[in-house]
């Protein structure tokens, strides 16, 4: 495991005393967790696989990595979902930053959803947003088994196609009451519209391909009829120069969730994908949102 020494030992010991032993049974009366400004944990990285059998009987093995505080204790968790043709390694800045502030972060490859992916069980021809949703739900189940995760505080985070899938998964009746909050970068709620009426055949796209089954699966999907079942708070970060996800899709999501529950941040000049100062702003925006929804036990 790689390690980065992020803080003085005395500060770490004090923080561990605060968080150790925090379990779901103590969450009935909660208070917000407050870390000192500038405080950082030492962070460990390790590989984590999720093995499960999907609804079609395929044996799926998801490859990913966990970033987590090195110190013993119970911590909230964040599960990160990549976009089209993306990988687990697409969120190093987010994972390091969040873990340094006391979150267990898990990023993984969706099975079949990218060129050169390390997860197994599917190919470009048979993965869909709904198989991705199955993957994400399996990842949630796995992360909740880890000894250092406070199972009452599991957050979902996704970008682009991964944001779209994250929103679908958060609304699933099996987990929607258990997901503490959701954060999304430029969520691609436009996907059904983009493929509606298109031939249902394998189609080359942006260095990879979309399978006929993927196209078939979204033809009649209205994501806004689904995602509103998630009734907790949502953070959306979007750039006003995004050429792939137009503002209308973001506004419709805000309307669906309810303005009182959505924290929308629009980054001027940013496109579909953040870098430089836009990335820094996006990461800190999501971190602030997470910390505003993270509790400690009495």
Instruction: List the chain pLDDT tens, one digit each, 298 residues.
Output: 333 323 333 333 333 333 344 544 454 567 999 999 999 999 999 999 999 999 999 999 999 999 999 999 999 999 999 999 999 999 999 999 999 999 999 999 999 999 999 999 999 999 999 999 999 999 999 999 999 999 999 999 999 999 999 999 999 999 999 999 999 999 999 999 999 999 999 999 989 999 999 999 999 999 999 999 999 999 999 999 999 999 999 999 999 999 999 999 999 999 999 999 999 999 999 999 999 999 984 3
Can you give the pLDDT at residue 144? 97
Can you give the pLDDT at residue 29? 66
Can you give the pLDDT at residue 4? 33
- What are the structure tokens assigned to 28, written together? 């009935």
| Residues sharing a CB contact under 8 Å with residue 145, sequence separation 6 or more, in sequence order | none
Q: Domain containing 66: what range? A: 3-297
| Residues sharing a CB contact under 8 Å with residue 276, sequence separation 6 or more, in sequence order | none
Helix axes 276-291, 92-100, angle to 10 degrees: 40
- As for how many domains the chain has, the answer is 1
Comparing CA positions, the residue from 48, 47, 39 lying closest to residue 18 is 39
CATH of the domain at 282: 3.40.50.1820
Write out the E strands in 109-252. Answer: 149-159, 179-185, 203-205, 208-210, 234-239
Q: Give the H/E segment covering residue 159.
A: strand 149-159
Can you give the pLDDT at residue 115? 94
State the CB neighbour count (10 A cutoff) for residue 2.
8
d(CA 110, CA 100): 25
Can you give the pLDDT at residue 30? 78
d(CA 95, CA 66): 8
The pTM assigned to this predicted structure is 0.90
């Amino acid at each position: 495991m790689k390690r980065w020494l992020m803080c003085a030992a005395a500060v770490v010991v004090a923080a561990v005393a605060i968080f150790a032993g925090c379990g779901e049974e103590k969450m009935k009366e909660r208070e917000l967790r407050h870390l000192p400004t500038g405080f950082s944990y030492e962070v460990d990285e390790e590989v984590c696989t999720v093995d499960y059998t999907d609804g079609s009987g395929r044996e799926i093995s998801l490859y990913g990595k966990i970033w987590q505080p090195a110190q013993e204790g119970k911590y909230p968790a964040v599960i990160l979902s990549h976009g089209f043709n993306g990988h687990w390694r697409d969120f190093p800045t987010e994972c390091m930053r969040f873990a340094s502030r006391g979150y267990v972060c898990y990023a993984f490859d969706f099975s079949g959803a990218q060129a050169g992916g390390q997860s197994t069980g599917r190919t470009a021809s048979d993965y869909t947003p709904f198989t991705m949703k199955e993957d994400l739900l399996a990842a949630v189940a796995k992360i909740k088994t880890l000894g250092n995760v406070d199972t009452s505080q599991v957050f979902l985070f996704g970008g682009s196609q991964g944001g779209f899938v994250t929103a679908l998964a958060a609304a699933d009746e099996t987990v929607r009451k258990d997901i503490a909050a959701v954060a999304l970068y430029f969520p691609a709620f436009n996907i059904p519209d983009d493929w509606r009426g298109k031939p249902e055949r394998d189609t080359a796209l942006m260095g990879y391909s979309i399978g006929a089954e993927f196209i078939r699966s979204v033809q009649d999907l209205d994501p806004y009829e689904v995602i509103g079942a998630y009734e907790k708070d949502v953070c959306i970060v979007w750039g006003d120069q995004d050429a792939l996800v137009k503002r209308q899709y973001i506004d419709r999501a805000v309307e669906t969730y309810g303005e009182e529950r959505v924290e929308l941040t629009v980054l001027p000049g940013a496109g579909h994908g953040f870098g430089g100062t836009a990335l820094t702003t996006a990461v800190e925006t999501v971190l602030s949102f997470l910390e505003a929804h993270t509790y400690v036990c009495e």
